[in-house]
Amino acid sequence: MNTKPVMGILAALVLFASVGAAMALWSDSLKINTTIETGEVRVDFDSWNCSDVNADPQAQGYDNSENKDVAQCIVEPEIYDETGSVIKLNVTLNNTYPGYHVIIYFNVTNTGTIPVKLLSMSYSNFTEEDDAALNVWLVAPNDTQIHAGEEGEYELHIVVLQEAEMNMTYFFDVMLVFAQWNEVPLPS
């Protein structure tokens, strides 16, 4: 008698019985509904003013003891974003001369939801002639981190040097780039 077909049938029955037992087990399921909302990096200029409000401010080594007020400093908004926040300032210095040292004070406000830090500062349209005629630097807070709803105070210094030419117009842009706090490397 050939037992192979009988063994095959028995194996199939054992297989069906074990699958049926596995299907009869009680079970329960858990689900996780996940919603992830990202934050926003957003900064704008909150307030600004110029140090030249009366007598012309002078660089070290220059004297304006006569309190002459011949140069003019104008700081005004130039570009607004879609929410009406100021994202670019225009600084105009008129009738300047060697030794004139003006400071533009401005506050950067974090209007986003994530803490930010100053990542970089750069100049554009700053030519060799500008570099010879002007000394420009930014004074930032020791810790540039700004939490949501808070502001940081900055100073942009501009000194007209002896090499500046008469009746010349100098033009350049300063770009401040802010990033989420954990993307900015710690100072070394």
Sheet holding 72-80, edge to edge: 72-80, 86-94, 43-50, 101-110, 151-160, 134-139
Q: How many CB atoms lie within 10 A of CB 88?
A: 14
pLDDT mean over 129-146: 93
pLDDT at 22 over 60: no
Q: Is pLDDT of 156 > 90?
A: yes
The pLDDT of residue 72 is 94
pLDDT given at position 130: 86
Judge if pTM exceeds 0.85.
Answer: no
Helix ranges, the chain (H): 4-23, 128-133
What is d(CA 18, CA 8) in angstroms, rounded to the nearest whole number? 15
Q: Does residue 152 contact residue 84 with C-beta atoms inside 8 Å?
A: no
Query: Burial level of 172, CB count in 10 A (0-12/13-18/19+)?
Result: middle
The whole-angstrom separation of Cα 3 and Cα 9 is: 10
d(CA 44, CA 174): 14
**Rounded average pLDDT over 100-106:** 97
Write the pLDDT tens digit of every residue in 51-84: 999 999 999 999 999 999 999 999 999 999 999 9
The Cα–Cα gap between 45 and 101 comes to 22
CA-nearest of 90, 95, 99 to 69 is 95
pLDDT in tens, 23-49: 667 888 899 999 999 999 999 999 999
pLDDT score at 28: 86
pLDDT at res. 171: 85
Q: What is the pLDDT of residue 14?
A: 67
- pLDDT at res. 148: 97
Give the integer Cα–Cα distance in Å for 53 and 65.
Answer: 15
Q: Give all domains of the chain, ordered by start, each with its CATH number.
A: 43-183 (2.60.40)
